[in-house]
Amino acid sequence: MAIADLANPTRFLKFANRTIPWLGGLTVLVFAYGIDQAMLAPDDYQQGATVKIMFLHVPSAWLGMLGWGVMSVAALGTLVWRHPLADVAAKAAAPIGAAFTLLCLVTGSLWGRPEWGTYWVWDARLTSELVLLLLYLGVIALWRTVEDPSRAARAAAILTLVGAIDLPIIKFSVDWWNTLHQGSSVFRVSGSTIDSSILLPLFIMAAAFTLLFFTLHLAAMRNEILRRRVRTLRLMQASAAS
Amino acid sequence: MNAANHMGFIVASYAAAVVAVSVLIAWVTLDYRAQRRKLADLDMRGVARRSAPARPERAIEQAKEEA
């Protein structure tokens, strides 16, 4: 099946029905291996055992941003190419991205209390992450407010593209401003500052979370296509009755 | 750094992750079942997409009526 064939919702449903069980199974396997490696990883020489929170916090932060990235590409698909599945993809990604952003904030607070002595501080990284969560909630509210899916899609796409400006702010906030949050330590030009004994489990957990994201996204897209079919059929039924 | 002092924060973080992932899985699973149920209900009432394949029993009923 060619990628272009997936633009057809019926073909996409067949693809999703075949792919979701395999992707789900692979997600479980990678999670099992990742959690095992995370539990076996040594304590950090400064942070001690609390470094284990990093194996949840960092992938959640990446996926919160990935979710908005997926929505931004889909927003272009809606506004520029009017791709039939673009707004389905955007709508399906929003709750998943919001959940991971919330998880990032919660685990960050739980990590911050023992390390910084506080659950929350209004520094640039934490605040820009909170803004991302609020943007997610705004887009979800917009989808729920406008009844016509195509009108809601255009409005949500514009908000998504405007909100995408928050992504580089989150990424570079620790470089642009003096923050309590630590600077970049994984992806740096001069190489990661994290020891490989901790970095490897982090990458495995990130792979597991990413697989989970795409499994859930595919399932949520399938649900959204079915929801639109239900809506179309009910409209047909109502117009036939009148 | 004493690990025992901070075990509560670690356990709470993993518990939060379990709750978040469980809620997401439950959401997509229950939503899928709900949409399938609604489509089956509409199909039972004879409301189907023009491109949907005809149900055999409906085709038989139609053939009987025509006969």
pLDDT in tens, chain B (67 residues): 555 678 999 999 999 999 999 999 999 999 999 999 999 999 888 877 666 655 555 545 555 555 4
- Return the DSSP state at A186: S
Contact B24 A103 (CB under 8 A): no
Contact A95 B27 (CB under 8 A): yes
User: Measured between alpha carbons, how far is A148 from A155 in angstroms, rounded to an integer?
Assistant: 11
User: Measured between alpha carbons, how far is A115 from B5 in angstroms, rounded to an integer?
Assistant: 12
Nearest to A223 among B35, B49, B51 (CB): B35
Contact A232 B49 (CB under 8 A): yes
Question: Closest Cα to residue B24, out of A102, A62, A126?
Answer: A102
| Cβ(A136)–Cβ(A97) below 8 Å | yes
A57: its two tokens: 């916090």
Strand partners, A48: A44
| Cβ(A50)–Cβ(A111) below 8 Å | yes
Amino acid occupying residue A236: M
Q: What is the pLDDT of residues A37-84, one digit of tens each?
A: 999 998 888 888 899 999 999 999 999 999 999 999 999 999 998 887
Nearest to B39 among A53, A212, A230 (CB): A230
User: Measured between alpha carbons, how far is A192 from A54 in angstroms, rounded to an integer?
Assistant: 15
